[in-house]
Structure 1
């Protein structure tokens, strides 16, 4: 079921409606409050989509984009992240060099958002709310990039919301799993302990600052590899480090093959946003706004 079928989100509280950053509390289709931040691109640089004709109505002026125009990049963080985590802020800053704006948000159960984490299932509704918010603010293009759990979410959301106003114009999945219930590495075995055991969920709440739903998936959601196969013709990029301790290289290769995606295997890179070097984030931003 797509998030569109489950209802529309509502903006609960938007701060300043000026050209500066805007904080909002979005309500998802299933009623969860999600904190979000819209940051416009620095005024000194134009969005590539606007540079040919200018943004003030005068052809060829090459002026800076007005607030809430051009491409917006929506960033989906990994498990235990949030919009205020340093790695997410760093990613937003670098990605913003290429786009009109960056939207960051905290998944349910994370940061200042409400609800409980379902570790990639209902989180598609959180991402859909953020994409729709970017469109409500006037962005002509909205693209998504996700890391680890967020990578699985951007894949599933793009597949489930095809043909709706929440559909992204391009998708990049970084350090994403291809399939559910993977326990082939020590970090993933520890993660399953955190998610499935009562004591583990206490560690998650008080040690990792994430509130986890104790209920198992029912039904099991569409897998990332199944989702990747349904995204075309939307451009898809799969990025993975060859030193990822969570998911070995068969995961990105399977995703890329299923979705006919462009595949970047990054030498020396570890896992997710914490391991994403500035050069990689810079290339990601360029890819997203040009696809």
Structure 2
């Protein structure tokens, strides 16, 4: 089959469509013919050598896709069934082997391309804000990077849950998009200190920055507040005064989706389909695709996402 490979390990932009071996099915997996794959920050990190796939997973980049089942293996699924897939790797190819527990039906009314844009963000946002933090009506949530793929989805989901939504973004244009999606409190991090603007008000914070924002995040949390760190774009090490946590009973949680066990991923997928897919079907939450490019243009897609100019998701079509 054809798939995107990195032809120079020292050049993260050396992504080319080349011939590779077909995936070999294991028990409990199906072979999916890929129609489209979403582009994620983790894909860029992998190309830079900073986010390797878990042991046994495909070395091919790509954390989500949509397509049709070409070979159901021993699962009992139907050949030709349209599915969306949460992946540990392999989305940037013509075919990918997918554990049955990571297959999802297409959201009602969604095309294959649209479905490919929501798998990773839906599972990430729901597993962290719904399943882990238990975000509920009346709470205030802060979402860093409100204009990105995670952010644009999280804003809508949190509003659907009845929360007050604060966001940070680096431009007025992105903040306007966040406002249109339902954000209540808009903070331009280049001009404002979000911790000062939101001091003691946030019940939950979804953070993609990490070390750089840790002290400010703790200042922004309300009593019993939860900081959920899902990215480390601002570094991995910092120093804090642990005494700041105790009086207000603050919690700091760190999570990742890719490294979870198959059983844990299957639980996330089931819960996401149960709770989030109905929101996509009735329009309370909708996809936000910035651009659609051919799979062969993966390098261009990574360059575009890395530019900081993207609002929402980029999708590659095979």
> What is the TM-score with the length of structure 1 in the denominator?
0.29
When you count strand as a share of all residues, which structure comes out higher?
Answer: 2
